[in-house]
Amino acid sequence: MKAVADNPGDHRIVAIWLLICCALVFAMVVLGGVTRLTGSGLSMVDWRPIMGILPPLNETQWQETFALYQQSPEFRHVNYEMDVDGFKGIFWLEYLHRLLGRTIGLVFLLPFLFFLATGRIHKRGLPKYLLMFVLGGLQGLLGWYMVKSGLVDNPHVSQYRLTAHLVAAFAIYAFMFWVALGILFRGRDEIRHALYGATAALTGLVTVTVISGGFVAGLKAGLAYNTFPLMDGKWIPGGLLALEPAWRNLFDNLTTVQFNHRVLAISTLLLVIGYWAVAVRKSMARPARLAVHVLLLVAVLQVALGIATLLLAVPTTLAVTHQANALVLLTTVLFLCHRLRGVTE
């Protein structure tokens, strides 16, 4: 078995593989957003990880699948006038979402086994790759756990489970991206930059804002107040603490959830602007300096997309772009954090 350390080209191959997996997870996040916003997520009322690869192949199978959907609360309470042709429209999106999840698993597993067998992945690095695979499998389980919450009585998935599913996707993406960066920049000794602490804190704030966005999506809170910057004609709307106990307002109160997301988003943008103003005056490597400028542009775009999505009552295209750009924002700040920390793999 050859040692991966002897061939830098092998490092690049593994890093490229991880980045391809990141790109597929990115596509999964986008497709998941489309599935949620088009009301397609509850169209498949069972979960068969192996046997469920094939869709209905003839009219009889379509009728059988539609009959299962007709027993769901979403059909009974929301789509009771839908026929089998309308059902096909929402089924295909959820089917493609699940199929992409399986594809990601294969794209990760097969090259991983090859790289392990040929020594391109050293045994000491094995645990982190195994963790990636396990997290991917658990993400599939979490997705079904989320869907199940909308198949009982109320045809809406739990905002807690939806947010967990979204955040888990972001976490898996971030983990693979971080490891790929460690491989690409292996052996480049650099001193920890003075802005590393601020960059790490900004990464944390972006993460918290993403989590708050998950609750906005889960509660459909974006449809509650479609004005900006005021909510119900006020800077601070009433009813922020309407629920008891008080902590529930952070997760169950439409008004509070949207208000908190607004505050976090604007705070993130202001801090990014301040960070950029300081960073451009600091000495840093060219890739990091470019990332600083990209960070500002992506943050401005993210807030603009969020406001437009709100004012236009959450159109699918804008809302999905807003969700996708959140992952671009996280990618940018993660890259900066990695490059400024000054520690090599």
Average pLDDT, the chain: 91
Do 251 and 174 have their domain in common? Answer: no
Distance CA 187, CA 284 (A): 18
Do 276 and 212 have their domain in common? Answer: yes
Do 195 and 215 have their domain in common? Answer: yes
Do 131 and 148 have their domain in common? Answer: yes
Among the three residues 142, 169, 186, which one is the final residue of a domain in this structure? 186
Q: For the packed helices 196-219 and 316-340, what is the interaxial angle rounded to 10 degrees?
A: 160
Do 179 and 200 have their domain in common? Answer: no
Distance CA 98, CA 104 (A): 10
For residue 216, give both structure tokens: 């906005």
In terms of Cβ atoms closer than 10 Å to its own Cβ (0-12, 13-18, 19+), residue 158 is: middle
Count structural domains, the chain: 2
Closest CA to 75 of 44, 51, 104, 52: 44
Do 34 and 171 have their domain in common? Answer: yes
Do 182 and 209 have their domain in common? Answer: no
Sign of the dihedral defined by the CA atoms of residues 189, 192, 194, 198, in that order: positive
Question: In terms of residue numbers, what domain contains 232?
Answer: 190-345
Do 112 and 145 have their domain in common? Answer: yes
Among the three residues 186, 215, 250, which one is the final residue of a domain in this structure? 186
State the 10-residue block means of pLDDT for the chain, 345 residues long.
52 94 97 92 82 83 92 90 92 93 95 92 90 94 89 86 95 97 78 92 97 95 94 93 94 96 97 97 92 98 97 96 97 96 64
For residue 243, give both structure tokens: 């629920």
The Cβ of residue 21 has, within 10 Å, a number of other Cβ atoms equal to 23
For residue 183, give both structure tokens: 């491989």
Residues 6+ apart with CB under 8 A from 211: 163, 167
Among the three residues 165, 186, 207, which one is the final residue of a domain in this structure? 186
Strand segments (E) across 155-288:
none
**Which amino acid does the sequence have at 163?**
T
The pLDDT of residue 124: 86
The pLDDT of residue 152: 83
Sign of the dihedral defined by the CA atoms of residues 116, 119, 121, 125, in that order: positive
Structure pTM?
A: 0.93
